[in-house]
Amino acid sequence: MNTVVYKILLVDEDQVFVRQTRQLLVSQTYETYTAASEEEGMIICQQQQPDLIICGAHLRGTGGHHFIMALRNEPSFDHIPLIFITIKDNKQEMRMAMNLGADDYLARPFRKRDLLLSIRSRLGRFAKFNHVRPPDAVSSVSLSDPTSAQQALYHRLGKAENRIIKMIAEGKSTKQMADELNVSIRTIENHRYRIAGKLGVAGRNALTEFVIRNIIQQQKPM
């Protein structure tokens, strides 16, 4: 009988924490990869397609929140469960991570058992989504049908980008989005720019017009 070996990526700049956590994961027969920066983490995701990611709040050259945004904006990776690790019980940091797409969080120091339980829970919950890629046919779906439009957007965009689309449909301003997600206005504007590029629309108000035309109006009763 074949035993499934799960791949776990650990992203953190604290080499002591990385070494100790890696030893724990290897002892539980998890195939473990490590990275210290956002760039290294994304490269390993592309090469290894991990089943779960453990991400620290502080990475080399940037923060863990930036890695989460990069991960959730990539449709190939936005299904991967992610556990966010903070150095202390920082509610704002944790809330921001969850808003950006983290699936669970732990504050250091934590018990080994708590981390292992979180890993098993995430893997069990998301197992059916692992290694599933959006179908290539999605790009040809007609956005004139409301159900097709929502499905097309879901598959074409990352988790964080889909959340931005939802907020636009709710009529929220850029500042309101930034406040709700605990990120800067510049970050929201960058999200909007990338979304517009993926959807093939241009112009300052083009994305809002796209959402009104293809989502809001299609949802109105006839």
- pLDDT tens sequence across 51-62: 999 999 999 998
**Would you place residue 172 in the very low, low, confident or very high pLDDT band (cuts 50, 70, 90)?**
confident
Q: Is residue 50's pLDDT more than 90?
A: yes
The better pLDDT of the pair 126, 167 is held by 167
What is the b/e burial string over 160-179, where b = at least 16 CB atoms within 10 angstroms of the residue's CB? bbbbbbebbeeebebeebbe
The stretch 168-180 carries a mean pLDDT of 83
CA dihedral 164, 170, 176, 177 (to 10 degrees): -10
On the question of pLDDT at 167 being above 60, the answer is: yes
Whole-model pTM: value is 0.62
pLDDT the model gives residue 38: 94
Separation of alpha carbons 86 and 92, rounded Å? 11
If one compares 156 and 173, the residue with the highest pLDDT of the two is 173
